[in-house]
């Protein structure tokens, strides 16, 4: 039996990119995976990828893919999603908060006063949306006395990356994961944040192909990048760890947790930690430091 057989996961923002990669990695371990995003089918977006394609691939990989079109900026749609999961599965074991409203031109590196105020959308779908999803997830996980809530973040939590709003959002989800862990501790539900480095998503590949200078930046250097499935492999290992709760409250560099669990990327490579180059996480697991700061 696969390690996550019978486990129910929700991965937000899974039409493409990191969300899709995480879903496929969880599928390899046999999970039932609800996939959300705004692109339901091929042709619904100018960007590659769709929920239908992700769900089909999840099924082919040995999981069960359930595609649900959701705008995570709409609380009513999110509430209906969680009601559906509760009604259909009567449980939820893993929530991966990955949905993020990445604006066009994020990598153009203009100062904040030359950027659109619409960049604040990253707060709405990125920070607030993560809180709303975790709020609903807790209402399922707390009564069952188990669960894992993962926030997808990055080194930008402490290291300037792209722009002001982007960095603020990633710092916020790290702290939110920490404080949620304190309140969830008595209920055996874990909350943590993962720092991804450069990831070979569809958009990232297109960007480095068109802008050679990005290949020489620490932030976007392909030599230290990983596949979109890499963080999913780590999340699968966490979900299968009987002592998962010991990680609750911490912010972890995905590459470091991978090495701890003996996980490589899909091509067998060891993804390097950029702790020395880009900074160290602030938050340690609450089991290691206690709740008093």
Give tens-digit pLDDT for 127-145. 999 999 999 999 999 999 9
> pLDDT below 50 — which residues of the chain?
290-293
Q: Does residue 1 fall inside a structural domain?
A: no
Percent of the chain with pLDDT over 90: 78
Q: What is the pTM of this model?
A: 0.93
- The predicted structure's pLDDT at residue 49: 87
| pLDDT at residue 41 in the model | 87
Which domain covers residue 62, as residue numbers?
8-289
Angle at 145 between CA 193 and CA 229, to 5 degrees: 35
Residue 71: inside a domain: yes
What SS3 string covers the chain? CCCCCCCEEEECCCCCHHHHHHHHHHHHCCCEEEEEECCCCCCCCCCCCCHHHHHHHHHHCCCEEEEEECCCCCHHHHHHHHHHHHHHHCCCCEEEECCCCCCCCHHHCCCHHHCCHHHHHHHHHHHHHHHHHHHHHHHHHHHHCCEEEEEEEEHHHCCCCCCHHHHHHHHHHHHHHHHHHHHHHHHCEEEEEEEECCECCHHHHHHHHHCHHHHHCCCCCHHHCECCCHHHHHHHHHHCCCCHHHHCCCEEEHHHHHHHHCCCCCCCCCCCCCHHHHCCCCCCCHHHHCCCC
22 inside domain? yes
Identify the pLDDT of residue 292.
Answer: 43
Query: Total domain count for the chain?
Result: 1
Kindly state whether residue 154 falls inside one of the protein's structural domains. yes
- Residue 248 sits in a domain of what CATH number? 3.40.50.720
- Establish if 26 belongs to a structural domain: yes
Query: pLDDT tens for residues 178-215?
Result: 999 999 999 999 999 999 988 877 666 665 555 555 55
- Decide if 3 is inside a domain: no
């Amino acid at each position: 039996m696969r390690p996550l057989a019978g486990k129910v996961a929700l991965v937000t923002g899974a039409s493409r990119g990191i969300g899709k990669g995480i879903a496929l990695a969880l599928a390899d371990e046999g999970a039932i995976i609800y996939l959300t995003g705004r692109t339901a089918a091929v042709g619904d977006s100018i960007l590659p990828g769709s929920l239908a394609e992700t769900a089909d691939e999840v099924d082919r990989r040995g999981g069960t893919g359930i595609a649900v079109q959701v705008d995570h900026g709409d609380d009513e749609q999110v509430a209906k999603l969680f009601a559906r999961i509760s009604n259909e599965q009567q449980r939820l074991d893993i929530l991966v908060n990955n949905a993020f409203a990445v604006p066009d031109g994020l990598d153009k590196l203009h100062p904040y006063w030359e950027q659109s105020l619409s960049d604040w959308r990253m707060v709405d779908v990125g920070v607030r949306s993560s809180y709303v999803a975790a709020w609903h997830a807790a209402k399922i996980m707390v009564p069952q006395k188990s669960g894992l809530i993962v926030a997808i973040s990055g080194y930008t939590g402490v290291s300037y990356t792209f722009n002001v709003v982007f960095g603020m959002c990633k710092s916020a989800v790290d702290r939110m994961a920490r404080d949620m862990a304190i309140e969830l501790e008595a209920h055996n539900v874990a909350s943590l944040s993962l720092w991804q480095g450069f990831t070979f998503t569809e958009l990232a590949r297109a960007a480095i192909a068109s802008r050679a200078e990005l290949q020489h930046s620490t932030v976007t250097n392909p030599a230290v990048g990983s596949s979109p499935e890499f963080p999913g492999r780590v999340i699968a290992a966490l979900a299968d760890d009987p002592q998962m709760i010991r990680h609750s409250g911490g912010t972890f560099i995905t590459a470091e947790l991978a090495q701890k669990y003996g996980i490589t990327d899909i091509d067998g490579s060891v993804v390097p930690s950029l702790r020395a180059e880009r900074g160290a996480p602030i938050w340690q697991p609450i089991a290691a430091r206690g709740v008093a700061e």
